[in-house]
Structure 1
Amino acid sequence: MPPGSILDSAVTNGHPASNGTNGTNGANGTTSTENIPVTSILVDFVANASTDYLTSPIRDRLKEYILDYIGVSLAASQSSDSTQPILTAIKTLGGTTGGSSTVLGLGKSFTPQYAGLLNAALGHSLDFDDTYAKGTLHAGVTAIAAGLTQAEILGSSIDMDRFLLAVAIGYEITCRLGKELGNEAYARGFHNTSTAGIFGAVATIAVLKNLPATTLANAWGLAGSKAAGSMQYLANGAWNKRLHPGFAVHDAFVCVALAEAGVLGAKDILEGPMGFLHAYSPKSDKDLAYLTSELGQRWEFLETSLKPFPACRMTHGFIEYATTLGRDRGVGADGVKRITLSLSPANVSVVGARIANKIHPENMVDAQFSAYYTTAHSFLYGSDAAVRAYEEDRLGDKEIYELSNKIVCVGDAGIKHFGSRIEVEYSDGKVETLDIPYPLGEPQRPFTRDRVESKFFGLVTPVLGEKRATAIRDAVEDIESHTVTKLLEMLY
């Protein structure tokens, strides 16, 4: 059944269908929040989720996402510059007092909400985690982190199918909400990964605990007042971004506990006139019918891509193809007159603003969110050196500095999601242009399983050694034969 065709029916998941064609008011294109009870539809979906949803394609993708998450998180536990300061603060706050929850790479001594915070923050600290293009967000880092912590608390009462289901539902809720927030939410200053992610994290916890719909509705109602994540981190490469999914998972545990204790949460938190979708994004064409249709049949989260490079996804096309236009041809900065990078106008504001810390970043976060720097680095050193890009010598590299000055970023409304275009005008007068509608890793250009495993071993072997890395890979591949507790014992 094609997306939206459910509107031909009289009901949607047991609720009256919208009177509109796409969940909007035809007169002015604004969202019609009165017609579709989004919150109750999604609550029913989560509360009644069935392991029958776990088809082979869903299982296979979840295994890839989980393997990737583990690899990125373990690497960040040892290599990210923000890990130790965050860990110190959590210990000061009592996050290891009487705790027995596991944090990847850091041990089994944390209270659940702080384990969730750390696991989500670690998964996002290298900006190497999976990405959902339609929502411009990272869904796995909240769904998997919340799922691991909650499943560990419940222990042997949770079988692996229930865990996989919970993670899938968390992904799906975050992705569907993120799609309707869109890139427009960034213009309002919100980071979709955390604002939508808290709802996905609550959903994951709810599935594992088999919470009734009323409790989940209250937890989401409370989560609407905890959803946060400011894009102001772009001003100075702040570590706020790394903490955003951590805050979301931490607060998801708080909201669930409050709801289970009987605390009343806001009604209609998603679609209400002062609710989440209205408050967090100015997007004028939110499609509430698409948001709530074909639940359990059309899985948006399966379009989530895995990252080949540890940088903002918006820069990946440039990183990949600058290599072929520069290093592979033996061309340096002096061989270039000008490079023009085209991307969507919304993405220009995130990675292409012509400001000092974008053109010449001095720290890792600024560099990861600079189309200038990541393109110049790849042009000179190649995409296979992307992990090295943020070391001190590269950040201070004079040739990267020179080439970055020759780069211009422009917005093109015809470019969608993470698509891009690169044009190089060489010093000898030759010009070459490459259109990159989909960066490597999108469904249209899949990140194949061998690449997934290569990335995983590249991240984990330096931390745990090849033997342990292989054992983890094998355990995830045969995850149904393990418990979450046993899996976590391999990860610290």
Structure 2
Amino acid sequence: MGTASQQMAEFVAGLRFDDLPPDVVAAARRHMLDAVGVALAASALGAGGPVIEMTRSWAGARESSVIGYDFGAPAPWAALANGTLTHALDYDDTHVESVVHPSAFVVPAAIAVGEEIGASGRDIVTAAVAGYEVATRIGAAAPGRFHVRGQHTTGLCGTFGAAAVAGRLWGLTSDEIAQAFGIAGSQSSGLFAYLSDGSETKRLHAGWAAHGGIVAADLARRGFTGPSTIFEGPHGLFDAFLAGEEPDRARLVRGLGTEWETTRIAIKPYPACHFVHAFMDAGIEAGVKWADIDEIVCSIAPPAIGIVAEPRAPRLHPATTYQAQFSLPFAVASAIVGGRDALEYFGDDARADRRVLTLAERVHHEPDTTLPFPKTYGGKLRVYTRGGRSIEIEELVNRGHPDRPLSDEELASKFLKNARMRLETRAARRALTKLQRIDQIDKIENLTSALQTP
């Protein structure tokens, strides 16, 4: 039967488009559409600018496009840039159980390598599904347990997903893909230290994972070797990052090829940490004007508290957009005050709004162990008004979750709003159509050419 990495490698090497059920193909199309739209918005806002400029300076051969820009680069560097863009606004999707942002490394790796080799849309979709299935299962083997140790699951698991993508597109053998997984393990990284000051390192985690996975696969196809026991240990991924706590190793391959994690990925309605979305919706649903609110209490899953609620003081007056996106009190206050488009909820204007800052100080939290985290990122919210009323709202399944998905129309609207920030309206609509039919494209260049600016 082999090790977990060998079993996953056999799945990746043998996966064909015709193996994919229609709902899996449809899900992959939706997530690729969402990821590209978010990357276009990030390019318009200059997010991840230093990474873009570094990539431009190192560009070399123009093998793969950088989304929203007028230049290309070798596949590993284009993937670094596009992965950073896709994750830069915290508007990209999340696989709920594993708490991994998979499209931020899967889609950039697929586009970069796919463009290099002239892959078809069907090839891209197949490779993307391989990446989704591998990376999400690694995170799901220890759901939420990397996070509580200050480790970013997207960075840790993403290198394996990107290696699967590149390995499938390059046609590596199962042994070569297993070697790539072993190599990818030594490139897994990503710390939550950015939470202390709202700095930009989290944006890089997905880009670095996409880059590292391609490098791992390229090294493997040239004969470089990696440990086949990267998931079993000793000194493997879980042994190193979980400090002796045992993961559910059977989860790595359980249902592989029959149960599809690609269909279990949530799409974000807000550009912020997924853990605050339910509370934002609940605050809006309460229907109380901000000035009439005396106190708000958010009942939140304990593992999420250290990410979005504590320490409390810096979250009341976030110094950067990134701090605001990981602030429960600020997110709830900004949603209730309203009057802004989604991408403006956490920007400079909102962070200078005295109404938002005043209300944020009235938002508190309490741990709730009854919430089904991480199966959903739901929560409960109580609003106490100055007039003595008490309003309770439960959002146990966050909007955009696969059990409560955004409609195709809502997703298309999100894409067009994002894409029009960088492309003319007609060009944005053309890109939308191409992405909605990506599995019908003969060559991926027919898409990527529509995503670059003159």
The answer to whether 1:154 aligns with 2:117 is yes
Distance 1:469 1:445 in 2: 27
The answer to whether 1:434 aligns with 2:390 is no
Any conservation in 1 of the 2:40–2:421 contact (CA below 8 Å)? Answer: no
How far is the alpha carbon of 1:411 from its aligned partner? 1.6
How far is the alpha carbon of 1:123 from its aligned partner? 0.5
- Greater RCO (Cα-Cα under 8 Å, separation 6 or more): 2
The answer to whether 1:91 aligns with 2:56 is yes
How far is the alpha carbon of 1:289 from its aligned partner? 2.3
Report Cα offsets for 1:366-402 as digits up to 9, x if no partner.
Answer: 00000010001111116x6332122322101112121
What SS does structure 2 have at the residue aligned with 1:196? helix
Task: Identify the residue that residue 487 of structure 1 maps to in structure 2.
Answer: 447
What amino acid is aligned across from residue 397 of structure 1 in structure 2? D
What SS does structure 2 have at the residue aligned with 1:390? coil
Any conservation in 2 of the 1:181–1:283 contact (CA below 8 Å)? Answer: no
Any conservation in 1 of the 2:60–2:74 contact (CA below 8 Å)? Answer: yes
Say which of 101, 112, 132 aligns to 2:95: 132
Any conservation in 1 of the 2:48–2:203 contact (CA below 8 Å)? Answer: no
The answer to whether 1:234 aligns with 2:234 is no
Distance 1:269 1:259 in 2: 15
What SS does structure 2 have at the residue aligned with 1:394? helix
Report Cα offsets for 1:164-211 as digits up to 9, x if no partner.
Answer: 110001011111111113211112221011110110000000011110
Any conservation in 2 of the 1:378–1:386 contact (CA below 8 Å)? Answer: no
Query: Mind listing any 5+ residue stretches in structure 2 that lack a counterpart?
Result: none
Any conservation in 2 of the 1:421–1:436 contact (CA below 8 Å)? Answer: yes
Any conservation in 1 of the 2:142–2:248 contact (CA below 8 Å)? Answer: no
Say which of 173, 184, 196 aligns to 1:223: 184
Task: Identify the residue that residue 40 of structure 1 maps to in structure 2.
Answer: 6
What amino acid is aligned across from residue 424 of structure 1 in structure 2? V
What SS does structure 1 have at the residue aligned with 2:266? coil
Task: Identify the residue that residue 326 of structure 2 maps to in structure 1.
Answer: 369
The answer to whether 1:388 aligns with 2:353 is no
Instruction: Please list, as runs of the form range in 1=range in 2, the aligned pairs for 1:70-469 lying within 5 A after superposition.
Output: 70-80=36-46, 82-92=47-57, 94=58, 96-155=59-118, 158-281=119-242, 284=245, 286-325=247-286, 328-329=287-288, 331-333=289-291, 335-381=292-338, 385-415=341-371, 416-417=373-374, 418-469=377-428
Any conservation in 1 of the 2:63–2:115 contact (CA below 8 Å)? Answer: no
Q: Using structure 1 for the length normalisation, give the TM-score.
A: 0.88
What amino acid is aligned across from residue 341 of structure 2 in structure 1? A
Any conservation in 1 of the 2:25–2:125 contact (CA below 8 Å)? Answer: yes
Distance 1:479 1:425 in 2: 49
Report Cα offsets for 1:455-479 as digits up to 9, x if no partner.
Answer: 0111112321221111111112222
What SS does structure 1 have at the residue aligned with 2:138? helix
Larger Rg: 1
Distance 1:161 1:360 in 2: 47
How far is the alpha carbon of 1:437 from its aligned partner? 0.8
Task: Identify the residue that residue 33 of structure 2 maps to in structure 1.
Answer: 67
How far is the alpha carbon of 1:235 from its aligned partner? 0.8
Any conservation in 1 of the 2:293–2:384 contact (CA below 8 Å)? Answer: yes
How far is the alpha carbon of 1:215 from its aligned partner? 1.4
Q: Using structure 2 for the length normalisation, give the TM-score.
A: 0.95
What SS does structure 2 have at the residue aligned with 1:319? helix
What amino acid is aligned across from residue 53 of structure 2 in structure 1? T
How far is the alpha carbon of 1:283 from its aligned partner? 8.8
Report Cα offsets for 1:142-182 as digits up to 9, x if no partner.
Answer: 11110100011111xx3322221100010111111111132
What amino acid is aligned across from residue 67 of structure 1 in structure 2? L
Distance 1:308 1:145 in 2: 21
Any conservation in 1 of the 2:66–2:78 contact (CA below 8 Å)? Answer: yes
Any conservation in 2 of the 1:47–1:206 contact (CA below 8 Å)? Answer: yes
Distance 1:376 1:394 in 2: 10
What amino acid is aligned across from residue 326 of structure 2 in structure 1? F
Q: What is the RMSD of the two structures over their aligned residues, measured on CA atoms? A: 1.6
How far is the alpha carbon of 1:230 from its aligned partner? 0.7
Any conservation in 2 of the 1:353–1:409 contact (CA below 8 Å)? Answer: no
What SS does structure 2 have at the residue aligned with 1:423? strand
Relative to structure 2, which stretch is displaced further, 122-131 or 407-416? 407-416
Query: Mind listing any 5+ residue stretches in structure 1 that lack a counterpart?
Result: 1-13, 16-36
Distance 1:86 1:161 in 2: 30
Report Cα offsets for 1:91-135 as digits up to 9, x if no partner.
Answer: 34x2x2233320110123312211000111111111111111101
How far is the alpha carbon of 1:360 from its aligned partner? 1.3
How far is the alpha carbon of 1:285 from its aligned partner? 6.0
The answer to whether 1:475 aligns with 2:434 is yes
What SS does structure 2 have at the residue aligned with 1:295? coil
Task: Identify the residue that residue 31 of structure 1 maps to in structure 2.
Answer: none
Give me the identity figure in percent: 28
Distance 1:284 1:109 in 2: 43
How far is the alpha carbon of 1:268 from its aligned partner? 0.6
